[in-house]
Structure 1
């Protein structure tokens, strides 16, 4: 029991710092770039370019992890190099140097999560209940930084973005040094069969439907991740209020993670995925209509429990079930790289075009809503075609 508690603490701390950094970057990178003098189209292009690194990078790192049998080395190396590349932002101010720094940072940062997910699932023996409780510490990290960073940047300026990021990255690197290899992780190299049929898993109709739906979900998230904080700032919300509104969504996410074990017992994976996509679509369409009301914004933010927590947990369960033990890193890398890389990059680029420095807010969120709803429709039809993996 003491060993299990120690494993839980070590894993939770890594998730805390990883998603704390996301709690800084996701809401406030656009504000940082806006402070540098870039317009919405340039911000969208920067977000698209750095997000595009996620298309290839996770798969490359995953292949290295599988072939070396040392996923923890990949995690630690990624965290260390992420610190160095992010620190370059202290000295650059122009378009291409900033893109280079952020793209390099994303290249290394993306090495961490797929391997951390695999390491976590192996360490807790694929327990949905324990995974959800470990993962909620990532949500707590996001909440803490969304609130703190919003207030700090409001009080001391957009330049503090870089200082906060470096501090978090150092914490993340230190937390990865505490992780320990289990027997299963250490023997991955011995188990890996170069001829295992991962290609057939990637071309399976069920996986393709699942992949496209996830990609559409990430496209839909682009206005929220890239421009939502900037949108609220332009509506004259304070930095603290912006942070609290964003954090409220993650609080709902935490509650959902706590009860995911019960949801898995009562509903099929397909039902959870369709529900999450549909709720997300409605969420984006409503945001510009109620943005002047803090109360309505808060109510809508509660749907983040479905948009992220339920969908993420269900998708991780799908991947864990769909791929064999020796394919987990590559399966995670392909999914996260394709869905978050392609979906995020396309979404960011389209959002940058549609946003028009705030004049195209409604059209942008409608685009996002329709994207998520299309994903829900695809998952509904995938259930009709084949139900075994989703039952």
Structure 2
């Protein structure tokens, strides 16, 4: 077990508690402030758009100056300063500025924390899942407790809850310590050279397509269930079910990766994703089928995420560790998430709600083909 395992788990718990609570309920806060649906859509899109920029900026700073913990702490204070904007003013432009500042600084924190974890683990990812799962647990606990607070005290409680969680994240960052980098005999390759390699391009194309497919869930799943007559209680239970399955997979994944390797696990995750999205599209009025599809979140998110992180270590380690994690976040969740959300929103308007999940299945299939090319092009078949 890594020396800082508890500190990593605590930081991820607090970070995802804030991110989950704010992203889940911010739409209700903005609506209460008089924002239109279109304005809310633009404001919420900043979460994905800033993931294109933020992780790369802070990943470069962290690697260049070799002060990753300091960057985490400074980013936390700057994010809190930006978040204070939600306590004052009520205009669209005001909220847009606050969203930009908040997400510019928070978007790079998770990749830097994971880079620290990977450095301390020195290539042994046996305990990666058991630490990473605490981020998912933080999401579940905070979103559930916040819903009770908002139900009792109203939506205007949200900024206070989210700000308190940001303060907790800063406090958790002060428990972390920088990890000495592993000394490599050879100089690391240039980042620009790595990004021109066809297997790396195919890998990032695959992860971006997979996240794009998952925007059918992140953006539309609650609305999809509501339109098909399910209550808010059922909708909340379905989200909790998916994240619970994710947590269990993170906890028990080590033996799977030891036996089968990252390549086979990624192929499995992508195959399950194709089936899962088809099931959601076909099972809108069959609750048992939707429940089965939610349990598959263990594979399509947790298994795929861990496979991606392990594969990423093949190219991005040492002095490139933080930037590698940042690129994964910005390309997959920033570019893939943004474009996927826009594409599937148009698809919903033109072809209907169910068809969104058939389109998501097609994106997952394209992701599998890109992953197949990436692994085929890798010279050392070590997976």
Fold in common (TM above 0.5): yes
Aligned pair in 2 of structure 1 residues 33, 337: CA closer, same or farther (>3 Å)? same
Q: Pick from 82, 91, 104: which aligns with 2:101?
A: 104
C-alpha distance after superposition, 1:158-185 (max 9, x if no partner): 4333232112111111111111223339
CA distances 1:274-326 after superposition (whole Å, capped 9, x unpaired):
22123223323332443444433322111111111111111111112222311
State the partner residue of 2:362.
370
Is the deviation greater in 287-296 or in 45-54?
Answer: 287-296
1:48 to partner: Cα distance:
3.1
C-alpha deviation, 1:39, in angstroms: 5.7
The aligned residue for residue 47 of structure 1 is 44
Q: Distance in 2 between matches of 1:25 and 1:372?
A: 28
Provide, for residues 164-219 of structure 1, a one-character-per-residue CA deviation record: whole Å limited to 9, x for no partner: 2112111111111111223339x99xx996x8422222222111111001111111
The residue number in structure 1 matching 2:176 is: 179
**TM score, norm. by length of structure 1:** 0.87
- 2:340 is aligned, of 347, 355, 372, to 347
Matching of residues 59-70 of structure 1 within 5 Å: 59-70=56-67
Change (3 A) 1:239 1:26: same
Q: Deviations over 1:133-169 (max 9, x none)?
A: 1111111111212323344445554433323211211
Cα separation, 1, equivalents of 2:38 and 2:225? 18
Shift of the 354–95 alpha-carbon distance from structure 1 to 2, 3 Å rule, reads farther
Alpha-carbon distance between aligned partners in 1 of 2:113 and 2:167, rounded to the nearest angstrom:
17
The answer to whether the aligner puts 1:282 opposite 2:279 as a matched pair is no
Give the unaligned 5+ runs of structure 2: none
How many Å separate the matches in 2 of 1:32 and 1:192? 52
Match of 2:315 among 314, 322, 330: 322
Give SS of 2:176's match: coil
Give 3-state SS (helix, strand or coil) of 1:128's partner: coil
CA distance 1:170–1:110, change in 2 (3 Å) = same
Q: 1:62 to 1:381 in 2, by over 3 A?
A: closer
User: What's the CA shift for 1:35?
Assistant: 4.8
Equivalent residue for 2:162? 165
| SS state at 1:82 partner | helix
Match of 1:273 in 2: 266
Deviates more, 1:129-138 or 1:150-159: 150-159
CA 1:160–1:382 in 2, change beyond 3 Å: closer, same or farther?
same
Partner Cα distance (2:332, 2:368) in 1 = 15
Which aligned segments of 4 or more residues in structure 1 are displaced greater than 6 angstroms? none
Which residue number in structure 2 is paired with residue 79 of structure 1? 76
Deviation at 1:371, TM superposition (A): 1.3
Alpha-carbon contact 2:46-2:103 (below 8 Å) kept? no
Cα contact 2:55–2:329 (8 A) shared by 1: yes
Q: Distance in 2 between matches of 1:389 and 1:38?
A: 53
Q: Call closer, same or farther: CA 1:179–1:113 in 2, change over 3 Å.
A: same
Where does residue 249 of structure 1 map in the other structure?
A: 242
Q: Which residue of 2 aligns with 1:203?
A: 196
Q: Partners in 1 of 2:156 and 2:364 — Cα distance?
A: 34
Partner residue in 2 for 1:382: 374
Mapped contact 1:210–1:379 kept (Cα < 8 A): yes
Q: Give 1:368 shift.
A: 2.2
Q: Which residue of 1 aligns with 2:288?
A: 295
Residue aligned with 2:380, SS? coil
Matched position secondary structure for 1:270? helix
Q: Is the partner of 1:129 in helix, strand or coil?
A: coil
Aligned residues: 383
Q: TM-score, normalised by structure 2?
A: 0.89
- Aligned partners of 2:55 and 2:309: how far apart in 1? 15
1:217 and 2:193 are equivalent in the alignment: no
Name whichever of 50-59 and 229-238 sits farther off. 229-238
Cα–Cα, structure 1 residues 180 and 385, in superposed 2: closer, same or farther, change >3 Å? closer
Q: Is contact 2:51-2:108 (8 Å) kept?
A: no
